[in-house]
Amino acid sequence: MTDLVKHKRMANAIRALAMDAVEKAKSGHPGMPMGMADVATVLFSRYLKFDPTDPTWPDRDRFVLSAGHGSMLLYALLYLTGYKGMPIDELKRFRQLHSKTPGHPENFMTPGVETTTGPLGQGVGTSVGMALAERILAAEFGDDVVDHHTYALCSDGDLMEGLSQEAIALAGHLKLNRLIFLFDDNGISIDGPLTLADSVDQVARFKSANWNAVRVDGHDPAAIAAAIDAALKSDKPSLIACKTTIGYGAPKKAGTSKAHGEPLGEEEIAGARTALGWEYGPFEIPNDILADWRAVGERGFPAHEAWNGRFAKLDAGKRAEFERRLARKRPAELGKAISDLKAKLAADKPTLATRKASELVLEAVTVAVPELILGSADLTPSNNTKTKNLVDITPGNYAGRYIHYGIREHGMAAAMNGMAIHGGLSPAGATFLVFTDYARPAMRIAALAGIPAIYVMTHDSIGLGEDGPTHQPVEHLAALRAMPNMRVFRPADATETAECWQLALERTDGPTVIALTRQNLIAARLTPEEKNLCAEGAYEISPADGKAKATIFASGSEVEIAIAGQKLLAEKGIAARVVSVPSLELFLAQPDAVRARVIGEASVKVGVEAAVRFGWDAVIGPDGIFIGMKGFGASAPYKDVYKNFGITAEAVADAVVKRHNA
């Protein structure tokens, strides 16, 4: 059998499995796997460094299926190359409950799936972070241990999404030459031919973003291999635009949008079997082809063994550090750094914006936690994320820990996903809280996939003042809290900022937003406390003098207002207590007893937050008093803005008095 015949038979195995699985599930996307089968076969059989017996081998090449709707391509490859977690039965359960073959790839469901994709563009953005992580870790641990490539298979849809522009611009600028995109250049999307909505020359576009970019016939194995060979030698990231036919082999539907996202149907599948010369039944892979694929799965064994040998020879301290990083274990120094800082803050009681307090925390924790990689989407001086000890990562020089992402919030968040999911690094990226809207789709992937990214979101309310309502978040806290598995912290002072950072860094199973003020806040926590009081999401920060008639719940900058309101009430003879709520949703997730203790028994309940009420009723009840925002903010010095919207200590006290007397 010639190499070409063997290649065709191997590629047809992918095509057949994709057709059959989609047909059995009565839903799915056969077109992309059938179109890209040749490209995938070349990549996996000749280039991709991987070991199906150890899907987490740290130095494996990363393969990201950005066009997640073509998930059957990946599942077929995992089965064919011999991943234990992907027996043929899982392909037969494509898109069924609790299968390893969900509609779109989910890295937390399926060993061998590197990241969760489906929302177009995300895989592209994530792969940039993976390629960057590889370079950063190689600079730190050496090429003997970290020396791999990142391949992303992307579609027209991936490249039409705005995120792709941010991602490719960042990768091109940083010269991430180990990043290779295999673009399924089939000219078809759901509505029909791409010409309906697009006339971009992708090759020219990528070249202008400092990429190497070529066009090849995506059904010609030699041409595909030559392009990958060239990409591997390039000093820039590479785009290989592979001209393919969607649904390759399907007699009537190939080359049309009918092949994109629905079962081909019995007749068309029979026709494809004939056209491809595939004479086997559904899900049947003949022994010789399976053996060829299994041999592909074994191709990486020697490289893996050699890596094991090099890793074993590594200095013991370095080896332990590498393992600690991959296990997402924090160094013991973190706890001590936070304790020391809290002791100092308890003594100094500084008046500080929490963004500035965050910088103080970072001065300490960046030393304690070397895997922490910071960055900002061009708001470094406002976000206070760059501490003195952090060196910039620059094109070609990755021995640093600070990333200037440019004005690319979405690209930043997606790249952070890639860095965190690559392993070995802990990314924290910053912008204004209002611009979480520009990063939200990648943040949602982090929440869904349990990725411990940290978002440092400053200018967290109308308290940012003069920039006005375009920049003043009002619904963002509620929107972020509504996202499952997203943790939102809004610390009230420097001590809480230290505690929230500690909780964010110790979290391993999902992302965290830390919302920080632009404006100064007085120290709210007056007594030193070794325990992390933010860990339950809420706690009594200022007890009542006597039996409390009212409880005032507040977060962040409004804790100061709540405490001032408490004083005014005391002057009027009404005892009130103040509960700081640095994380509403963490608090709501506490056991009943904890919630009951913190909420207390006072009949008057007030919530104070310079944001919309949405979500607060779970604490204050539907008849609770809420002092906050009902609409967008206004442009003025922040104290005037607070007054204008009635978020003041007087308003708190007046509302309590009125309710108390009612």
Ligand X SMILES: Cc1ncc(C[n+]2csc(CCOP(=O)(O)OP(=O)(O)O)c2C)c(N)n1
Active site residues: 409
Alpha helices in 370-408 (DSSP H): 380-383
If the CB atoms of residues 242 and 598 are measured against ligand X, the closer one turns out to be 242
If the CB atoms of residues 236 and 260 are measured against ligand X, the closer one turns out to be 260
Binding residue (CB under 6 A) for ligand X from 67, 289, 550, 561: 67
If the CB atoms of residues 123 and 271 are measured against ligand X, the closer one turns out to be 123
By CB under 6 A, tell whether 45 contacts ligand X: no
By CB under 6 A, tell whether 66 contacts ligand X: no
By CB under 6 A, tell whether 188 contacts ligand X: yes
Binding residue (CB under 6 A) for ligand X from 156, 292, 371, 460: 156
Of the candidate spans 156-164, 351-359, 380-388, 619-627, the one that interacts with ligand X by CB under 6 A turns out to be: 156-164
The least CB distance from residue 100 to ligand X, in Å, is: 21
Q: By C-alpha distance, which of 603, 586, 378 is closest to 496?
A: 586
The least CB distance from residue 161 to ligand X, in Å, is: 6
- Cα dist. 399→139, 178, 282, 325 in Å? 5, 16, 51, 17
Of the candidate spans 117-125, 322-330, 505-513, 623-631, the one that interacts with ligand X by CB under 6 A turns out to be: 117-125
By CB under 6 A, tell whether 184 contacts ligand X: yes
By CB under 6 A, tell whether 152 contacts ligand X: no
Contacts (Cβ under 8 Å, ≥6 apart) of 269: 19, 20, 23, 250
Q: By C-alpha distance, which of 96, 78, 97 is closest to 87?
A: 78
What token pair was written down for 381? 């001086």
By CB under 6 A, tell whether 120 contacts ligand X: yes
Binding residue (CB under 6 A) for ligand X from 110, 189, 426, 557: 189
By CB under 6 A, tell whether 429 contacts ligand X: no
Binding residue (CB under 6 A) for ligand X from 14, 21, 24, 31: 31
Of the candidate spans 41-49, 185-193, 305-313, 601-609, the one that interacts with ligand X by CB under 6 A turns out to be: 185-193
How big is the chain by its Cα radius of gyration, in Å? 28
- Separation CA 350–CA 395 (nearest Å): 39
By CB under 6 A, tell whether 148 contacts ligand X: no
540 contacts 581 by C-beta, under 8 angstroms: no
**How many of the chain's residues bind ligand X (CB under 6 A)?**
19
By CB under 6 A, tell whether 118 contacts ligand X: yes
Binding residue (CB under 6 A) for ligand X from 1, 4, 5, 190: 190
CA count, 13 A, side-chain hemisphere, 22: 32
The least CB distance from residue 422 to ligand X, in Å, is: 23
Residue whose beta carbon is closest to ligand X: 157
| Cβ neighbours, 10 Å, residue 358 | 29
Q: Could you give the dihedral angle defined by the CA atoms of residues 364, 366, 371 and 375, in that order, rounded to the nearest 10 degrees?
A: 150
What token pair was written down for 423? 């392993």
If the CB atoms of residues 183 and 501 are measured against ligand X, the closer one turns out to be 183
The least CB distance from residue 38 to ligand X, in Å, is: 15
484 contacts 447 by C-beta, under 8 angstroms: yes
- Separation CA 436–CA 365 (nearest Å): 24
By CB under 6 A, tell whether 74 contacts ligand X: no
615 contacts 533 by C-beta, under 8 angstroms: no
By CB under 6 A, tell whether 32 contacts ligand X: yes
If the CB atoms of residues 33 and 52 are measured against ligand X, the closer one turns out to be 33
If the CB atoms of residues 165 and 583 are measured against ligand X, the closer one turns out to be 165
Q: By C-alpha distance, which of 57, 566, 565 is closest to 306?
A: 57
The least CB distance from residue 194 to ligand X, in Å, is: 7
The least CB distance from residue 27 to ligand X, in Å, is: 13
End-to-end CA distance of the chain: give it in Å, rounded: 91
Angle, vertex CA 508, rays to CA 502 and CA 513, nearest 5: 60
- Separation CA 106–CA 448 (nearest Å): 9
By CB under 6 A, tell whether 170 contacts ligand X: no
Largest CA distance in the chain: 95
If the CB atoms of residues 157 and 615 are measured against ligand X, the closer one turns out to be 157
The least CB distance from residue 241 to ligand X, in Å, is: 12
Of the candidate spans 114-122, 137-145, 290-298, 415-423, the one that interacts with ligand X by CB under 6 A turns out to be: 114-122
The least CB distance from residue 160 to ligand X, in Å, is: 7
The least CB distance from residue 269 to ligand X, in Å, is: 18
661 contacts 631 by C-beta, under 8 angstroms: no
In this structure, is the dihedral angle defined by the CA atoms of residues 114, 115, 117 and 122, taken in order, positive or negative?
A: negative
What token pair was written down for 624? 């609770």
Of the candidate spans 1-9, 127-135, 152-160, 395-403, the one that interacts with ligand X by CB under 6 A turns out to be: 152-160
- Separation CA 544–CA 550 (nearest Å): 9
If the CB atoms of residues 107 and 155 are measured against ligand X, the closer one turns out to be 155
The least CB distance from residue 120 to ligand X, in Å, is: 4
Question: Rounded to an integer, what is the distance from CA 235 to the centroid of its chain?
Answer: 27
Burial of residue 205 (number of CB atoms within 10 Å: 0-12, 13-18, 19+): middle
The least CB distance from residue 260 to ligand X, in Å, is: 4
By CB under 6 A, tell whether 69 contacts ligand X: yes
In this structure, is the dihedral angle defined by the CA atoms of residues 170, 175, 179 and 182, taken in order, positive or negative?
A: positive
If the CB atoms of residues 74 and 649 are measured against ligand X, the closer one turns out to be 74
- Separation CA 576–CA 507 (nearest Å): 34
Of the candidate spans 116-124, 348-356, 448-456, 574-582, the one that interacts with ligand X by CB under 6 A turns out to be: 116-124
Residue 235 is inside which H or E element, if any?
none
Binding residue (CB under 6 A) for ligand X from 186, 376, 417, 532: 186
- Separation CA 655–CA 662 (nearest Å): 11
Of the candidate spans 58-66, 136-144, 153-161, 594-602, the one that interacts with ligand X by CB under 6 A turns out to be: 153-161
515 contacts 460 by C-beta, under 8 angstroms: yes
By CB under 6 A, tell whether 271 contacts ligand X: no
By CB under 6 A, tell whether 157 contacts ligand X: yes
The least CB distance from residue 184 to ligand X, in Å, is: 6
If the CB atoms of residues 73 and 541 are measured against ligand X, the closer one turns out to be 73
- Separation CA 509–CA 72 (nearest Å): 27
If the CB atoms of residues 42 and 188 are measured against ligand X, the closer one turns out to be 188
By CB under 6 A, tell whether 260 contacts ligand X: yes
Binding residue (CB under 6 A) for ligand X from 246, 264, 449, 620: 246
Of the candidate spans 79-87, 154-162, 317-325, 489-497, the one that interacts with ligand X by CB under 6 A turns out to be: 154-162
By CB under 6 A, tell whether 155 contacts ligand X: yes
- Separation CA 185–CA 242 (nearest Å): 5
Beta pairing partners, 239: 181, 213
| Cβ neighbours, 10 Å, residue 97 | 6
Q: By C-alpha distance, which of 513, 449, 447, 520 is closest to 477?
A: 513
Q: Which residues bind ligand X (CB under 6 A)?
A: 31-32, 67, 69-70, 118-120, 155-157, 161, 184, 186, 188-190, 246, 260
